[in-house]
Chain A
Amino acid sequence: MSSVPDFIQEIQRKINNIQIKADGTNRYSIELTEPSKIKDLAKLLQNSGFDHVISVSGVDYPEQEKLGVVYHISSYEEGKMNIVLTLKTYVTYKEPVIDSLISIWPSAWTAERETFEDYGIIFKGHDELRLFFLPEDFDGVYPLRKSFKIKTEGIFVDRRG
């Protein structure tokens, strides 16, 4: 485990209820227990040079009835290019709402929209929460939640007639 750089320690001081740990070199995961604070955290990160979002992923945890929202954030600034921050937070099934970060990082636009259609996580403040990759008449179900089952086949078959 490498030492945690200064900017991360500063974030830890400024925002409560977050856990920061380093996974391997140059990968830090920030776990935010209060999703309402995500915008403040994002602004802090942006001020310390993290200027783009690589991905926004949803993760489904059906047992705990919650959905994880994972932002991967990186920087094009010299010296920080190799750092990828994993910003994790959770929303519940009952209220899958979180603030959109496109006002801070417009590069999250595509991925937030996709996460909305796949998991039903509503990003407050996103300008176009419509279906994206799915067909226009796809309705009601969120395909990447674990409750959406797809058929799998076995590997043994009987000889056909």
Chain B
Amino acid sequence: MTEEVEKILKGGLEVEIVPVEGELNVGPQHPGSGHMRIFVRLNGDIIEDVDLDVGYVHRSVEKLSENRNYIHLIPLIERPAILDSIHMNMAYIMAVEKILNVDVPPRALYLRSFAAEVNRIASHLYGMGIFGVFMGHSTAFMWGFGDREVWVEILQALTGARVTNSYILPGGVRRDITPVIMEMTEKAIKYTRRKLNDWKGIFVNNPNIKARTQNVGVMTKENAIRWGAVGPNLRASGVAFDVRKAEPYAAYDKLDFEIPVYKEGDAYARTLVRIEEIEQSMKMLEQIMREIPQGNILSDRFFKQIPPIRLKKWWEGQHRIVMPGYYASFRPPKGEAFARVEAGRGELAFYVISDGTAKPYRLRMITPSYRLIKVFRELAKGSRYADLVTIYGSLDYFPPEADR
């Protein structure tokens, strides 16, 4: 550096010169970080290393669950992913049912699948919206949230709440489907099919989006397995794994569907998998509405405990199940259970140990985004800085779900 330049620098131009190699602190108050902090070490435009500082929305589900009754946990475990709450609820209840050894009537199983698929569509639309706005595509963001509203409306009619549904109980579900809801769903399917065409026009087939997503965040099949990717991200890398097929729960063994699998493993393939899963979900919803069996929606073991007067008023009147007093503080037998479902973002697992008291001895909740922490870290290494958000969005990583 010549003397002249030094002189100028001394005369009032002193700023800390940021080297080309530097650390960027993305978040927690950054438009593209979500509820976490991402330490990015940059070399020029290339990311050398990423450290995720998670835990900003940690709500300690696992500790709280050791101090709450089983029934109290239903609203708690769905909080981490409020937009995917049916799945959270279902996996937990499946684990509890395994310990309790309860059989669920077929109609309730179909209703669980119904709610889960509606929720999956809503969750995927949300994910694509966030993904879109991370790349600056504001229309995808608004459409994602707007179109999701249609499905949330159905969930609201079915369960009584928009997001935190608390719909599934041990032994069954809380409310029955009505012809009105079926009609709503049919219309929503027609609407979403039309809209998906426009989605393809403006978002999926948009050359701009293609350029941003193709060959970005490429995860080979081996890496996807090694790092522990789940759900649509795993399927976009060529692993045909879906809990709904591998280990059918609810009514999935009777439903006819395909799991979309792509070979490339990049951000675009992940988007395509999500789009196709929405289509498959709608197909499943149609089948559920056609084939749903008549019958009870709560296991007889609990159904018998409901007082007959209430049964008449609620079940025969409004097709709602009211809870028997048993639920308030039930004690399942000793044992442990491991249950998993395919949530919107991937495989969701609960590991529950019961010691015979009214509270779980240990509850382990493994959410899909939790398993994506490692994937995100590894994928971001070596990518361009602008692709950090693309990778983030394409993984559909949801910090509250990861923090639990």
- Residues of A near any B CB (own CB < 8 A): 23-24, 26-27, 51-55, 57, 59-60, 70, 72, 76, 81-82, 84, 86, 105-111, 118, 132-135, 143-144, 146, 148, 150, 152
Option from A72, A110, A132 in Cβ contact (under 8 Å) with B349: A72
Question: In the bound complex, do residue B63 and residue A59 qualify as a contact, i.e. CB atoms below 8 Å apart?
Answer: no
In contact, A132 and B55 (Cβ under 8 angstroms):
yes
Chain B residues with Cβ below 8 Å from A144 are 62-63
Contact A55/B364 with A133-B58, A144-B62, A148-B63 known, Cβ cut-off 8 Å = yes
In the bound complex, residues from chain B placing their C-beta under 8 Å from that of A70 are 351, 364
Instruction: For chain B, residues 325 to 380, give those with C-beta under 8 angstroms from any C-beta of chain A.
Output: 336, 338, 340, 347, 349, 351, 353, 361-362, 364, 366, 370-371, 373-374
Other-chain residue from B60, B67, B234, B351 in contact with A143 (beta carbon distance below 8 A): B60
Q: Is the CB of A81 within 8 A of B225?
A: no
**A111-B366 contact, Cβ under 8 Å, with A54-B347, A76-B239, A150-B67:** yes
Contact B338 A72 (CB under 8 A): yes
Listed A/B pairs (25) with beta-carbon separation below 8 Å: A23-B336, A26-B247, A51-B225, A53-B228, A54-B349, A54-B371, A57-B351, A57-B364, A59-B361, A70-B364, A72-B349, A81-B246, A86-B338, A106-B374, A107-B225, A107-B228, A110-B374, A111-B370, A133-B403, A134-B55, A143-B63, A144-B62, A146-B66, A150-B67, A152-B67
Which residue of chain A is the closest to B51 with respect to CB atoms? A128
- By the criterion CB–CB under 8 Å, are B225 and A110 in contact? no
Q: Quick one: which of B225-283 are within 8 Å of A by CB?
A: 225-228, 234, 239, 241, 246-247
C-alpha gap A56/B241 in the complex (Å): 21
* Interface pair A59/B347, CB less than 8 Å apart: no
A57 with B226: CB separation less than 8 A = no
Q: Is B180 an interface residue (CB 8 A)?
A: no
Number of A-B contacts (CB under 8 A): 86
Q: How far is the CA of A54 from the CA of B374 in the complex (A)?
A: 13
Which B196-210 residues sit within 8 Å CB-CB of chain A? none
Contact B225 A84 (CB under 8 A): no
In addition to A52-B226, A107-B374, A133-B55, 9 A-B residue pairs with Cβ atoms within 8 Å of each other are A54-B347, A57-B362, A72-B349, A72-B366, A76-B239, A107-B228, A108-B228, A134-B58, A143-B60
Is B247 a contact of A81 with CB atoms below 8 Å? yes
Q: Quick one: which of B241, B374, B403 contacts A109, CB cutoff 8 A?
A: B374
Interface positions of B (Cβ within 8 A of A): 54-55, 58, 60, 62-64, 66-67, 98, 225-228, 234, 239, 241, 246-247, 336, 338, 340, 347, 349, 351, 353, 361-362, 364, 366, 370-371, 373-374, 403
Tell me if B349 and A107 are in contact (CB < 8 A). Answer: no
The closest CB in chain B to the CB of A108 belongs to: B228
Given the interface pairs A70-B351, A82-B247, A143-B60, the reply to whether A106 lies near B338 with Cβ below 8 Å is no
The complex places the Cα of A152 from the Cα of B58 at a distance, in Å, of 19
A76 touches B241 (CB 8 A): yes
Distance A51 CA – B221 CA, assembled complex (angstroms): 12
A150 touching B63 in the complex, CB below 8 Å, given contacts A57-B351, A76-B241, A106-B227 = yes
Known: A82-B246, A133-B58, A134-B55. A72 touches B351 (CB 8 A): yes
Complex alpha-carbon distance, A65 and B386, angstroms: 50
Q: With the chains together, A60 CA to B66 CA distance in Å? A: 12
A124 to B48, CA, bound (A): 26
Query: Is there an interface contact between A150 and B64, defined as CB atoms closer than 8 Å?
Result: yes
Complex Cα spacing A111 to B338, Å? 16
Q: Which of A57, A59, A146 has the most CB of B within 10 A?
A: A57
In chain A, what residue has the closest Cβ to B57? Answer: A133
Please give me the residue from chain A that is nearest to B363 by CB atom: A57
